[in-house]
């Protein structure tokens, strides 16, 4: 028989929390990519990797936070640990492929098309791999049209995210792009969940009985959430991302050259324009530092 599927067991709590996690991962990822592209002194591979991990963890966390609210009333739900962790690895790796592609090759049409397609298919694979990790007393079936639509949404969302990562530089613009990314990723997830039906096996005593998947998912979600928070600390304490010109008005922060630093820190020579009151060949005077530099020296009597 078909089970009674409910994706909103806790009402709006899980969809809102899932959306916020997607936005957080997207915002951190976009700022990290901006940091790598528009500052020559940054370690580009490191910032791109941090951005890919942030976006991938955000997408994965969004999925499983949303799945906390998923239930089938006639059966309990569990998760296979290995497949759940593998879905996280897939999310980070496929996002990394797209981020590194546009990070090094730029936002050309060919690069965006290829990277967006690969990343979108990878995100969809992460979703269905996570669904495959579910353990329940029944069979999960999918409606093909909704599955195809979810894959299309994933590809479009991934392409838009990669374009935003290399094209949007301002802090507020990146924040707005991350909000749109959250909508796209959440929309892909719930579109895919509309394709789900569960055929429950006729087993006596397999009722829901108040059980919840949180006993497994919450400990597994702890790691990615902590990572996102630590990545947020790194981003927020980087002046080039928050307070620098590169973060607020889209202009690269000025860099001081070694010659400029030397000129700024070098002590002025006596007899130069900085000390107009001292003759060039005047002997060293230990009291000179206490004199007014603009004092005119008194003439001695011949």
Which of these, 85, 73, 211, 81, lies nearest to 138 by C-alpha position?
A: 73
pLDDT of residue 41: 63
Sign of the C-alpha dihedral computed for residues 140, 146, 148 and 150 taken in this order: negative
| H or E element that contains 40 | none
Whether the predicted pLDDT of 75 surpasses 60: yes
Q: Where are the domains of the chain?
A: 5-248, 267-302
Q: What residue has token string 């009722």? A: 207
Instruction: Please tell me whether residue 125 adopts helix, strand or coil conformation.
Output: helix
The mean-pLDDT minimum among 115-129, 157-171, 250-264 falls in 250-264
How many whole angstroms separate alpha carbon 299 and alpha carbon 262? 36
Q: Say if residues 133 and 83 touch (Cβ distance below 8 Å).
A: yes
pLDDT of residue 180: 87
Q: Say if residues 73 and 206 touch (Cβ distance below 8 Å).
A: no
pLDDT of residue 236: 67
Residue 212 CB contacts under 8 Å (≥ 6 apart), including other chains: 68
pTM of the model: 0.72
Q: For the chain, what is the radius of gyration of the CA atoms?
A: 29
Whether the predicted pLDDT of 266 surpasses 80: no
| H or E element that contains 211 | none
How many whole angstroms separate alpha carbon 25 and alpha carbon 92? 11
* Ramachandran angles phi, psi of 72, nearest 5°: -120, 115
Q: Which of 35-49, 71-85, 202-216 has the highest mean pLDDT?
A: 71-85
Q: What residue has token string 């969302």? A: 157
Q: How many CB atoms lie within 10 A of CB 256?
A: 8
Cα angle 28, 30, 32 (rounded to 5 degrees) comes to 70
Q: Which of 117-126, 230-239, 267-276, 286-295 has the highest mean pLDDT?
A: 117-126
pLDDT of residue 247: 39
Q: Which residue has the higher pLDDT, 57 or 39?
A: 57
Q: How many CB atoms lie within 10 A of CB 298?
A: 6
Whether the predicted pLDDT of 190 surpasses 90: yes
Query: What's the mean per-residue pLDDT of the chain?
Result: 76
Helix and strand counts by DSSP (H, E) for the chain: 10, 6
pLDDT of residue 119: 92
Q: pLDDT of 20-56, one tens digit each? A: 989 888 888 888 887 787 666 668 888 899 889 999 9
Structure tokens of 175?
């924040």
b/e map of 131-148 (b: 16 or more CB within 10 Å)? bebbebbbebebeeeebe
């Amino acid at each position: 028989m078909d089970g009674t599927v409910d994706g909103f067991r806790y009402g709006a709590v899980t969809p809102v929390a899932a959306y916020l996690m997607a936005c957080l991962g997207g915002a951190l990822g976009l700022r990290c990519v901006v940091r790598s592209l528009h500052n020559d002194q940054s370690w580009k591979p490191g910032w791109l990797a941090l951005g890919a991990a942030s976006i991938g963890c955000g997408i994965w966390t969004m999925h499983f936070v949303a799945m906390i609210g998923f239930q089938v009333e006639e059966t309990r739900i569990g998760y296979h640990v290995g497949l759940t962790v593998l879905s996280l690895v897939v999310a980070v790796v496929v996002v990394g492929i797209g981020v590194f592609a546009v990070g090094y090759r730029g936002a050309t049409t060919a690069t965006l098309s290829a990277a967006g397609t690969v990343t979108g298919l990878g995100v969809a694979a992460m979703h269905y791999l996570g669904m495959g990790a579910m353990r329940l007393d029944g069979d999960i079936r999918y409606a093909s049209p909704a599955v195809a639509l979810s894959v299309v949404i994933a590809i479009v969302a991934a392409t838009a995210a990669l374009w935003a990562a290399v094209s949007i530089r301002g802090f507020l613009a990146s924040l707005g792009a991350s909000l749109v990314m959250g909508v796209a990723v959440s929309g892909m997830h719930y579109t895919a969940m509309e394709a789900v039906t569960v055929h429950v096996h006729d087993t006596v005593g397999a009722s829901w009985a108040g059980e919840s998947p949180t006993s497994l998912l919450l400990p597994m979600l702890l790691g990615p959430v902590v990572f996102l928070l630590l990545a947020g600390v790194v981003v927020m304490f980087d002046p080039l991302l928050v307070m620098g010109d590169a973060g607020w008005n889209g202009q690269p922060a000025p860099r001081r050259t070694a010659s400029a630093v030397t000129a700024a820190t070098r002590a002025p020579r006596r007899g130069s324009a900085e000390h107009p009151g001292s003759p060039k060949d005047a002997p060293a005077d230990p009291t000179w530092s206490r004199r007014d530099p603009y004092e005119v020296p008194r003439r001695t009597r011949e």
